[in-house]
């Protein structure tokens, strides 16, 4: 934990340490990794730098589509920007049926967050149109599926605010889809989070279009794998979930976390760097991108002197 100014609010998320005071927020993107809403016991080298770099790129690329929180990224593991308290909903946009949604569909579910799906879909099949399957934003434990009806009934946001959030999410997904296609990738699904500033403005917060928040398929392998009934080659955190499932861990009570050996954490790291290099230029160089608390402290001190005068 950093040495911080008095009256600074500190929150430790699954992978981020968040410091806020006044109208500004300072975020440390750690090398921690989570799956099934559980923080895994080992950190992943360079993971924070990968996520921070990808997210910074996309936040800057989409700022004319949706207003967002980011001001600057002064360090490989640091970003800071405008404080906008989180609207407690995660907006999951899906263009394909895959992952947890497929597992539920295969088990017989057809209604997802108020969206009715037809019978006969196959694993990894493209949906007729992208759909929004929102979840609650849990402070701890598992997020839960919800629906537009429940969101409005519980007055989490107004009808007009919800309409704006949906528009923002679908516009971002459309951008991500087109951008991914230019890189021989398919954006399968992703999640967005939004916050509300003191003046009532709704803005995009958190990271976007990273392997932690998104699932990508390699485009030129998709059709062949799909026709064969196999899993397309993908670049996302799903391979970590699959490894956990194969080792009988899904975050359920009584599940025992499998041992993460160094060769496995290094393999995860290389997969994250691979996605970075497919999405963002110039290529990812490891030099000076290790998690360094002293450098992060210097970045915080500079930030606080500028914004907390």
- Cβ proximity of 224 and 123 under 8 Å: no
Q: Collect contacts of 150-156 with beta carbons under 8 A, ≥24 apart.
A: 151/89, 156/87, 156/88, 156/89
Domain that holds residue 187: 86-236
Name, in order, each residue with C-beta under 8 angstroms of 45's C-beta and a sequence gap of 6 or more.
31, 265, 266, 269, 290
- C-alpha to C-alpha distance for 210 and 46, rounded to whole angstroms: 14
How many structural domains comprise the chain? Answer: 1
Share of the chain above pLDDT 70, in %: 98
Whether omega for the bond prior to residue 256 falls within 30 degrees of 0, making it cis, is no
- C-alpha to C-alpha distance for 89 and 87, rounded to whole angstroms: 6
Q: Would you say residue 48 has pLDDT above 60?
A: yes
**Distances from the Cα of 247 to the Cα of 99, 142, 240, 244, 250, angstroms:** 17, 20, 11, 5, 9
DSSP H or E run through 128: strand 126-132
Q: What is the pLDDT of residues 146-204, one digit of tens each?
A: 999 999 999 999 999 999 999 999 999 999 999 999 999 999 999 999 999 999 999 99
Q: What is the pLDDT of residues 51-78, one digit of tens each?
A: 999 999 999 999 999 999 999 999 999 9
Whether 79 is in a domain gets the answer no
Q: Would you say residue 38 has pLDDT above 90?
A: yes
Longest CA–CA span in the chain (Å) reads: 61
Question: Quick one: pLDDT at residue 139?
Answer: 57
Mean pLDDT, residues 206-215 taken together: 92
Whether 119 is in a domain gets the answer yes
Name, in order, each residue with C-beta under 8 angstroms of 258's C-beta and a sequence gap of 6 or more.
243, 244, 247, 248, 249
- Cβ proximity of 208 and 175 under 8 Å: no
Q: What is the mean pLDDT of the chain?
A: 94
Q: Parallel, antiparallel, or unpaired for β 115-116 and 70-75?
A: unpaired
Name, in order, each residue with C-beta under 8 angstroms of 1's C-beta and a sequence gap of 6 or more.
10, 17
Q: What sign does the dihedral 178-68-59-205 (CA atoms) show?
A: negative
Whether 175 is in a domain gets the answer yes
∠ CA(235), CA(238), CA(240), 5° rounding? 105
Q: Would you say residue 140 has pLDDT above 70?
A: no
Question: Quick one: pLDDT at residue 184?
Answer: 94
Any idea which of 46-50, 85-89, 134-138, 179-183 has the lowest mean pLDDT? 134-138
Partners of 90 in the β-ladder: 135, 193
The reported pTM is 0.91
Whether 265 is in a domain gets the answer no
Q: Would you say residue 113 has pLDDT above 80?
A: yes
Question: Quick one: pLDDT at residue 142?
Answer: 61
Residue in the structure block whose two tokens are 């485009």 = 219
Whether 136 is in a domain gets the answer yes
Task: Tell which wins on pLDDT, 68 or 231.
Answer: 68
Whether 241 is in a domain gets the answer no
Q: Would you say residue 143 has pLDDT above 80?
A: no
- Sorting pLDDT into bands at 50, 70 and 90, what band is 80? very high
Question: Quick one: pLDDT at residue 222?
Answer: 94
Q: Would you say residue 138 has pLDDT above 70?
A: no
Whether 247 is in a domain gets the answer no
Question: Quick one: pLDDT at residue 118?
Answer: 96
On the CB side of 188, how many CA atoms lie within 13 Å of its CA? 28
- Sorting pLDDT into bands at 50, 70 and 90, what band is 16? very high
The CATH number of whichever domain residue 197 belongs to comes to 3.30.470.20
Partners of 217 in the β-ladder: 186, 234
Whether 191 is in a domain gets the answer yes
- Sorting pLDDT into bands at 50, 70 and 90, what band is 102? very high
- C-alpha to C-alpha distance for 267 and 273, rounded to whole angstroms: 10
């Amino acid at each position: 934990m950093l040495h911080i100014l008095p009256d600074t609010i500190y929150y430790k998320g699954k992978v981020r340490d968040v410091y806020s005071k006044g109208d500004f927020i300072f975020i440390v993107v750690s090398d921690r990794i989570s799956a099934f809403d559980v923080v895994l016991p080992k950190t992943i080298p360079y993971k924070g730098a990968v996520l921070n770099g990808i997210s910074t790129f996309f936040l800057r690329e989409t700022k004319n589509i949706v207003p967002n929180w980011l001001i600057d990224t002064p360090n490989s593991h640091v970003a800071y920007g405008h404080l906008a308290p989180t609207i407690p909903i995660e907006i999951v946009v899906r263009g394909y049926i895959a992952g947890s949604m497929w597992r539920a569909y295969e088990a017989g579910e057809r209604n997802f967050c108020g969206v009715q799906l037809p019978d006969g879909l196959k694993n990894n099949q493209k949906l007729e149109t992208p759909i929004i399957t929102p979840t609650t934003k849990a402070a701890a434990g598992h997020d839960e599926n919800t629906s537009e009806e429940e969101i409005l009934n519980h007055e989490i946001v107004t009808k007009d605010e919800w309409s704006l959030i949906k528009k923002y999410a679908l516009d971002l997904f459309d951008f991500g889809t087109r951008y991914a296609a230019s890189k021989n990738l398919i954006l399968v699904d992703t999640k967005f989070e939004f916050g509300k500033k003191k003046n009532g403005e709704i803005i995009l917060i958190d990271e976007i279009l990273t392997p932690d928040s998104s699932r990508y398929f390699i485009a030129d392998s998709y059709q062949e794998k799909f026709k064969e009934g196999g899993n397309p080659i993908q670049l996302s955190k799903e391979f970590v979930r699959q490894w956990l499932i194969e080792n009988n861990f899904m975050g359920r009570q009584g599940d025992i976390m499998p041992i993460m050996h160094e060769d496995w954490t290094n393999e995860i790291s290389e997969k994250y760097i691979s996605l970075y290099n497919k999405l963002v230029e110039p290529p990812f160089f490891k030099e000076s991108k290790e998690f360094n608390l002293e450098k992060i402290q210097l970045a915080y001190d500079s930030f606080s002197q500028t914004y907390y005068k």
